[in-house]
Amino acid sequence: MNVRQKTWRVAWRIGVCVLLLGWVFSAIFLNEGRAEWQRQGGQWQTLAWADKWHFAWVHGPRALFGTLSLIRPGEGLLSLVFMGLTILLGTLRWHMVLRSQHTGVKLSRALEISMVAHFFNAFLLGSTGGDLLKAYYAAGETSDLKAESVVSVVVDRLLGLLSMLVFAAVMMVPNHGLLTGNPRLGALALVALGMLGTLLVVGGLSFQSGVTRFWPGARGWLRRLPKGESLECALEALRRFGRQRALLAKAFGLSMLLNVACVLQVWALVRGLGLHIQPGFLFVIVPIIICLAALPITPSGLGVRENLYVVALAAPQIAVPATAALSLSLLAYAGSLFWSLVGGLVYVRFRRAHPLPRSVTEETSQSAAAEDRVP
C-alpha cells in the first residue's frame, strides 16, 4: 500500500470520526439548549436556526461539563482500578500464550511491553500501531522463536475479541426482553452475533488446517506470495496454538474475567454519576458497544462509541438522558487514556534500553495513521 492510499484511509476515517462526534454533540447540545430556553420561558420554535445553534453551543458544553463534574471521586478512582485490571488481565493472557511457546519473555517484561502498546494505541489514534510495537519487542526477546512471538499478539487479539463476543451473546439470553423490546438495541445485538459467527469461522480456519483440507495446493500458492515464507511460518505457529486446547481454555477463562472487569469499570462510573441502570443491562450493553467500537471505522472507535452509548441507554427500560450517556462514554474513555499516560511514562524509560530502529518507527507511525482496535 503506497503513501497516497494510506493517506486516503486515514483521511476518510478521521472524517467519519469528526462527523459522528459532531452529530452526537450537536444533537445533545441542541436538546440541552432547547430545554434551557424553555426553562427561561422562551419559545424554542420562534428562534431562527442560527440563534438555536448559538444558544445550544453556549449552553450545551456547560451542561455536559456539569454532568461530567458530578462523578464522585471514590467511584471515579474505582473505575480506574477496574480499567487497570483489564490491562493486567490482558497481559496475563498474552504472557500465557507466550509462555506456551517457550519464548522466555518474563511477565514483568510482558507488562512493560503491554503498557507501551496501550500508550501507542491511544495517542497514535490507531489500534495496530501499538500491536506492531508489541510484536516487535516480543520478537526481540528471542532469537529463534520470532514467528511464535509475533503470532502471539494475533492470538491474543483473536481470543480477546472472541471471548467478548461470546460474553455478549451469553448475556443476551437473560436480557432478551430488553433487546427484543427495542429495535435499535436488537439491531446492535444482531450485528454483534454476526461478528461472532464470522470470527468463529476465521478462528477455525486460523487454528486448524481448514483450508488445506479442501485445497491441498494452498501451501504452494502461499509460498509464491510476497513474504510467503513468513506467512507460512506464522500460519504454522497459529496451528500449534490451535492444538493446545488446555491453553486456549485457560486463556479464554481469563478473558471472561477481563470482560467482567470491563463492565465493572462502567458500572463504577454509573454509580459515580448517580445514574440508575440495572447491572444486568450493563452486562449486555457494554460488551456489545466494545465489540462494535472495535470495528475499523474511526480511530480508536471515537464517535462510534459515543453514539452507541447514547442510542443504547436511551431505551425506555433504561431512559438515561443523552447528556449523561455521553458523559459516561467520555469518562470511560478517559480511564483508558489515564493508563495510556502511564504507559507513556513506561515508554520513556523503556525506550532507553530498547530503542526502535528507524524502519519500525516509520512503519508504526504509518500504521497508526492508516490501519484499524480490537479489544
Q: What pLDDT, on a 0 to 100 scale, did the predictor assign at position 236?
A: 67
**279 against 220, higher pLDDT:** 279
Cell of 298: 474511526
Q: What pLDDT, on a 0 to 100 scale, did the predictor assign at position 362?
A: 47
Quote the CA–CA distance of 345 and 240 in Å, as a whole number. Answer: 36
Q: Say how many Å lie between the first and final Cα of the chain, rounded.
A: 25
pLDDT-derived band of residue 21, with 50, 70 and 90 as boundaries? confident
Cell of 52: 438555536
Q: What pLDDT, on a 0 to 100 scale, did the predictor assign at position 364?
A: 45
Quote the CA–CA distance of 157 and 134 in Å, as a whole number. Answer: 12
3 state SS of 104: coil
Q: What pLDDT, on a 0 to 100 scale, did the predictor assign at position 330?
A: 93
Cell of 302: 471515537
User: Among 58-62, 322-326, 356-360, which range has the highest average pLDDT?
Assistant: 322-326
Quote the CA–CA distance of 134 and 153 in Å, as a whole number. Answer: 7
Q: What pLDDT, on a 0 to 100 scale, did the predictor assign at position 294?
A: 84
Q: What pLDDT, on a 0 to 100 scale, did the predictor assign at position 174?
A: 96
**247 against 147, higher pLDDT:** 247
Q: What pLDDT, on a 0 to 100 scale, did the predictor assign at position 270?
A: 97
Give the max Cα distance, the chain. 76
Q: What is the pLDDT of residues 166-215, one digit of tens each?
A: 999 999 999 999 999 999 999 999 999 999 999 888 777 666 655 555 55
Looking at the predicted structure, is the pLDDT value of residue 118 above 60? yes
Cell of 322: 443523552
Cell of 15: 472524517
Phi, psi angle pair for 278, to nearest 5°:
-65, 130
Q: What is the pLDDT of residues 293-302, one digit of tens each?
A: 888 777 777 7
For residue 276, the tally of other CB atoms under 10 A from its CB is 9
Q: What is the pLDDT of residues 305-321, one digit of tens each?
A: 999 999 999 999 999 99
Looking at the predicted structure, is the pLDDT value of residue 126 above 60? no
Looking at the predicted structure, is the pLDDT value of residue 95 above 60? yes
Q: What is the pLDDT of residues 224-271, one digit of tens each?
A: 444 445 555 556 666 777 777 888 889 899 999 999 999 999 999 999
Q: What is the pLDDT of residues 70-84, one digit of tens each?
A: 899 999 999 999 999
Q: Which residue has the cell 493517506?
A: 7
3 state SS of 154: helix
Q: Stretch 132-160: mean pLDDT, rounded? A: 75
Domain ranges of the chain: 3-40+60-370
282 CB burial (10 A radius; 0-12, 13-18, 19+): buried
